[in-house]
Amino acid sequence: MAKIQTKKLNINDFSPDSRQDISKLARSLNPFFDDIERAFRKGLSVEDNLPFQYVTVDVAVDINGTPKQQVSTSFNLTNLKGCVIINAIASDNVSFPTSAPFASFKTVGNVFTLVNVAGLPVDKNFTLTLLLMA
């Protein structure tokens, strides 16, 4: 994993005409850069602090992309806004998506249900890794 490194604003990197404005900006941004570096060094992770959740589901679809069995799972987010398929692995390790898979879904409370998955071959079992976003 790459280590985050920030570069502080240095007024000497700018034209003399801009230095007064850059100095004001640097007083706010440079301490912020230090705080971000410290937070990542202490174990801050994007996954733990951004409003999304990974979910893994198994699905096989019919000719219209409708799941052959209901595919539902609970989630821990408030106000779910979207879903992206980030991985699709066939159980036979031979089949592949026919195009970039796209999922349509509905939610009731904190239950996520796949309604349609475009881009998967018919009658093939896939394990999908979904990224749910609030």
Alpha helices in the chain (DSSP H): 19-41, 46-49
CA-to-CA distance for 75 and 80, rounded, in angstroms? 9
- Supply φ then ψ for residue 29, to 5 degrees: -80, -40
**Predicted confidence pLDDT, tens digits, the chain (134 residues):** 556 677 888 999 999 999 999 999 999 999 988 888 888 788 877 667 778 999 999 999 999 999 999 999 999 888 889 999 999 999 999 999 988 999 999 999 999 999 999 999 999 999 999 999 98
**pTM for the whole thing?**
0.68
